[in-house]
A and B are shown apart, each in its own frame.
Chain A
Amino acid sequence: MKVKRKTLFAREDLANRLSVIAKQHGYSLYNLVNEILELAIQAEDAGINLRKIFEESLILKNAKKDGFILGLETLWYEMAELAYEKAGEEAIKRWFEAGVWLAKRYVTAGMESPFEAFKRSLEAYTWNVPELTIEEDERTVSIRMISPRFSESYALLYSAFLEGALETFGYEVSGKEVSTGMIRLKAVGKEVDVEE
């Protein structure tokens, strides 16, 4: 069946970049543009926009780079409970090291603002946490996580993870409150005098 074609204006730089991609993949520009628009329309019809598809899919891509895997939240809690109950010190150490590892990844990546990147990742990977606030000024960092589903063990382990990351970013934890459903951490730059 012959498909009727129409023309529309696209920004020249976009059209040129798409032409290059189409050529690389053995597509015609016509096919590539149609495919993209089809997907955009399908997404909007399903009540999701293309930007959301792009942003949300990036979470999984970045999680892979950051060494995070996805699983059932309740399973993590149950396993954390058992691990902490039977070998608490070892569990704390492992979570702390995981925090160090992740922060080091950002610190050594040559980013302009590694802490900001870490913060964005943490926000993305804690979609199951109803409230997460990370505030940073020149001297201090405050982290507050509220999740009614966090058991005390899980909260303690997660706070060890955060402490590991904060220390790697050059902060020292100066205040800590961890209990069922809540983590509050305050840290100050190691080279800064602490005023209590």
Chain B
Amino acid sequence: MSKSKKLVYVSEDLIREAMETARSEGKSLGAFVEESLELALSAKEMGYSLKEASKLLEVVHANKILGGAFVPLEVFNHLIRAAYRFGRGKLKERWYESGVLHGKYLKEKFENPIEAFKAFLEAARWDLSEVEVREEGDIVKLRCFSTILTKEGTETLLRYVEGALHSMGYKTVKSEHIKGMIILEFKR
């Protein structure tokens, strides 16, 4: 690895802040800069930017606090199908409740909880191929699409989304769904 150095320009304010941060971390400015640049490059090589990574970290952090856990998608689909067969009403209610919990948390922690909820859905539920959220004044329009979501998964997800938005102070004004597609509209 090359050890030669190159001069790069940085804004003066930023250098001052970086020096303070590095000092508080017990690092030299050089080490702090080098580590930051190296990590940014690693993130880029993995196909994303550190900005995206920092968004994902918020999702990871929120999920750890809220009791999130990973399960294989196939297992999830099986569980939901089996549980649905034997206790549909209760299951939907539980998904609604978990939406309420997540919505309350996001409302408290984020300046724009709707945007945070979208990021939450996109990162945690990659089985959704598209999550679209539009805020138009008091109205929030939400559409989720998935080519792999089951009928049971669609219906429980719908209740989860409603739970989240209801706890943020919205009420459902339009609700449509078919397997793999959810179209919802809320009003504050």
| Chain A residues touching B, range | 35 or more
Q: Is the pair B8, A29 in contact by a Cβ cutoff of 8 Å?
A: yes
B interface secondary structure, majority: helix
17 of the cross-chain contacts (CB-CB < 8 Å) are A7-B10, A11-B3, A13-B2, A18-B41, A33-B9, A38-B14, A40-B39, A53-B50, A53-B54, A54-B43, A68-B72, A70-B125, A72-B68, A72-B69, A94-B78, A126-B70, A161-B75
Instruction: Across the interface, name the chain A residue whose C-beta is closest to B34.
Output: A11
Q: Given contacts A34-B11, A127-B64, are A71 and B124 in contact (CB under 8 A)?
A: yes
The residue from A7, A41, A57 contacting B18, defined by CB atoms under 8 A apart? A41
In the assembled complex, which residues on chain A have CB atoms less than 8 Å from the CB atom of B178?
none
Residues of B within 8 A of A125 (CB): 70
A67 contacts chain B at the CB level, 8 A cutoff: yes
Among B14, B41, B52, max chain A CB count under 10 A is at B14
Q: State whether A67 touches B12 (Cβ < 8 A).
A: no
Please report the C-alpha to C-alpha distance between residue A14 and residue B83 in the assembled complex, in whole angstroms.
52
User: Shortest 10 CB-CB distances between A and B: which pairs?
Assistant: A83-B82, A57-B56, A73-B69, A70-B124, A57-B53, A40-B36, A4-B12, A98-B72, A79-B79, A79-B83
Residues of B with C-beta under 8 A to A98? 72, 74-75
- Residues of A within 8 Å of B34, CB to CB, are 10-11, 14
A36: contacting residue among B6, B40, B94, CB under 8 A: B40
Knowing that A6-B15, A51-B35, A71-B76 are A-B contacts, what are 17 other residue pairs whose CB atoms are under 8 Å apart, sorted by A's residue number? A5-B12, A7-B7, A9-B7, A10-B7, A12-B3, A14-B41, A39-B50, A53-B54, A54-B42, A56-B61, A60-B60, A66-B72, A71-B124, A72-B68, A73-B68, A82-B83, A128-B67
